[in-house]
Amino acid sequence: MSDLRELYLEMVTDHAKNPRHRGKTDPCDCIGTGHNPLCGDKIVVTISLDGETINDVKFDGEGCAISTASSDLMSEVLRGKTIQDAKDIFHGFHELVAGDGTAESVPKKLAVFSGVREFPMRVKCATLAWHTLIAAIEGNKEASTE
Amino acid sequence: MLNTEIIADSFPALHQTIGDNRLVYLDSAATTQKPQCVIDAIVSYYENDNANIHRGVHTLSQRATQAHENARVSISRLLHASRPEEMVFVRGATEAINLVAQAFARPRFGEGDVILITEMEHHSNIVPWQLICEQTGASLEVVPVCDDGSIDMDAYKSLLIPNVVLVSMAHVSNAIGTINPVKEMCKLAKEVGATTVVDGAQAVGHLQVDIQDIGCDFYAISGHKMFGPTGIGCLYGKYELLQEMEPWQGGGDMILSVSFEETTWNDVPFKFEAGTPNIAGAIGFGAAVSWIQEIGYDEIFKHEQELLAYGREVLLAIDGVELIGASKQNAGVIAFTLKGVHPHDVGTILDHAGVAIRTGNHCAEPLMKRFGLAATCRASLCIYNTRKDLDYLGVGIQEAMRILG
Ligand SMILES: Cc1ncc(COP(=O)(O)O)c(C=O)c1O
């Protein structure tokens, strides 16, 4: 049986209760909206860029603990990374929560989401922010987990 | 006094563990579990009587036809229809409402006509009418819901103008459990000459429904929400109305004779049942009806009301719990939120404790919006639930508060 404690690690619940990166970036070079019809969650991700480099990422909206913590930690690890880095990190993250990836293939802070894999119904909560980020970067504006 | 432990014994799916915990099933508004007799009826049909109906002279076909039609009779008696032909077999409440929309409303309605629904409807009693409005030019009006989850009857009365051609309302709300005064609402609707549709999906598994007493023109039900299988339901329609209506799907069984020049329709209700129906489903549905009658609605309603009161008590004793739309006339549905904890997380944590509830918008997005929420938690009660189940719910919620509150 999957272990709840693996899902709601202290780092996850802490970032869920006290997100550090909620808001809107200024300037806002990219904006994307994400929707998870399963739980009704909607988030907005904004990015400020310096050429190909991500200066800042912020998110807004209400979501569950997994989605909020994932949005917050995503914003945290992406600062100073390039757009290509962001895409690579998402790939590793997706493999971690939904595929065969290991914690080694993602930035250390994201390893706290390893437990999500045991809760298939929650994978979309963990990836919503990332899908929204990619939509923002690619100018699609809207992402959906469906 | 009802022995619910014995009742629960008839439901094989209830006897399992989720991880280390006994399953506590509090999601019967989504679908009820099935008693052994329903499962047996379906198995027995396939093992002994499987044949197509209405068209064979051989023994199996006769048996299958008989069983299928017996189920129609049982359902019509359960709901006090005036004759079995008033019950049309469909896939479920959704299809029943769509049938009324497409076969009754679409050819009759137009510009200037008003369709009235309520703010607490399930999407299946909203979207079919939106389609009709698009197709006919009619417009949709919505009766608001009060803070306690009841329908605003004053608003209803003022919305009932002569242009209203049809009123469609839930008998019981799936999201918050309100029992609506459908008899009074139908009477008022009749005063302006409107046709009345009642969505009974959440009613018939829990309370005595007398269609003639309610006085509605149409009543929609789903078998799977009243101990029957999925994929089968009924539309009740007043005999004269069903007779007036044109069919909505063409095919076998719904015709009397077919030629390339002229095809004539079969009688009601077969006119609306094109193609080979869900025979096993109807038979299982019939078995579910017999099971309900054995227990009796008085016992079912009494038991669920007692559980509802107890469940509300258990939840309100927990700091941070807020009940949503807990009206006085309520079926066994408890909608709630936890302060600072998202329903989705509550659902996962409860599942881990073996407690199955539903979280989300419950296919009633407009109602959620009315209460300013994106999602709620919903525990829905059934005859097989016990006080102990609600104690486990309470413990699970406390755990959720401990982890995330
Ligand atoms: C009030 C109400 N109406 C209609 C439906 C639709 O029923 P079905 O999906 O069985 O067609 C439901 C199911 O959740 C319901 O709760």
| Model pLDDT for residues A28-67, shown as the tens digit of each residue | 999 999 988 777 788 999 999 999 999 999 999 988 999 9
Which pLDDT band, with edges at 50, 70 and 90, does B184 fall under? Answer: very high
CB B376 within 8 Å of CB B134: no
Is pLDDT of B3 > 80?
A: no
Tell me the domain boundaries of chain B: 4-27+296-404, 39-293
- Spatial CA neighbour of B299 closest among B202, B228, B383: B383
pLDDT in tens, B117-167: 999 999 999 999 999 999 999 999 999 999 999 999 999 999 999 999 999
- Mean per-residue pLDDT, B322-327: 93
Best interface-test mutation with B: which of A1, A2, A4, A11 has the largest number of B CBs within 10 A?
A4
d(CA A60, CA A72): 10
CA atoms within 13 A on the CB side of B130: 7
Report the residue from B19, B360, B365 with minimal CB separation from A39: B360
Confidence (pLDDT) at A2: 65
CATH topology of domain B4-27+296-404: Aspartate Aminotransferase, domain 1 (3.90.1150)
pLDDT in tens, B199-230: 999 999 999 999 999 999 999 999 999 999 99
CA of A118 to the centre of ligand 1 (A): 31
Q: What's the CATH code, domain A4-141?
A: 3.90.1010.10
For residue B351 the two structure tokens come to 């599942």
Best interface-test mutation with A: which of B27, B342, B355, B404 has the largest number of A CBs within 10 A?
B342
CB B360 within 8 Å of CB A36: no
CA of B223 to the centre of ligand 1 (A): 10
pLDDT in tens, A123-145: 999 999 999 999 999 987 667 66
For residue B367 the two structure tokens come to 């109602």
pLDDT in tens, B282-305: 999 999 999 999 999 999 999 999
CATH entry, B39-293, from 3.20.20.140, 2.70.70.10, 3.40.640.10, 3.40.50.11270: 3.40.640.10
Chain A's closest residue to B352, CA to CA, is A4
Chain B's closest residue to A13, CA to CA, is B404
- Chain A residues touching B357 at Cβ < 8 A: none
Cis check for the bond before B269: say yes or no (omega within 30 of 0): yes
CB B377 within 8 Å of CB B318: no
Query: Residues of B42-74 as b/e, b for ≥16 C-beta within 10 angstroms?
Result: beebeeebebebbeeeeeebebbbebbeebbeb
DSSP three-state, residue B319: coil
Looking at the complex, report in whole angstroms how far the Cα of residue A55 sits from the nearest Cα belonging to chain B.
30
d(CA A78, CA B41): 59
Is pLDDT of B392 > 90?
A: yes
CA atoms within 13 A on the CB side of B236: 33
- Do the domains B4-27+296-404 and B39-293 sit in the same CATH topology, yes or no? no
Confidence (pLDDT) at B257: 87
d(CA B240, CA B242): 6
Amino acid at B231: G
Is pLDDT of B259 > 70?
A: yes
pTM, to two decimals: 0.93
Neighbours of B270 (CB within 10 A): 19
Confidence (pLDDT) at B2: 67
DSSP state of B330: B
Q: Is the dihedral of CA B270, B170, B78, B358 positive or negative?
A: positive
Confidence (pLDDT) at B22: 95
Q: Which residues line ligand 1 (CB under 6 A)?
A: B 92-94, 122, 124-125, 170, 174, 199, 201-202, 222, 224, 363
Reported ipTM:
0.89
For residue B147 the two structure tokens come to 């803070």
- Mean per-residue pLDDT, A109-135: 94
Angstrom distances, CA of residue A72 to CA of A61, A75, A76, A79, A108:
12, 5, 6, 12, 14
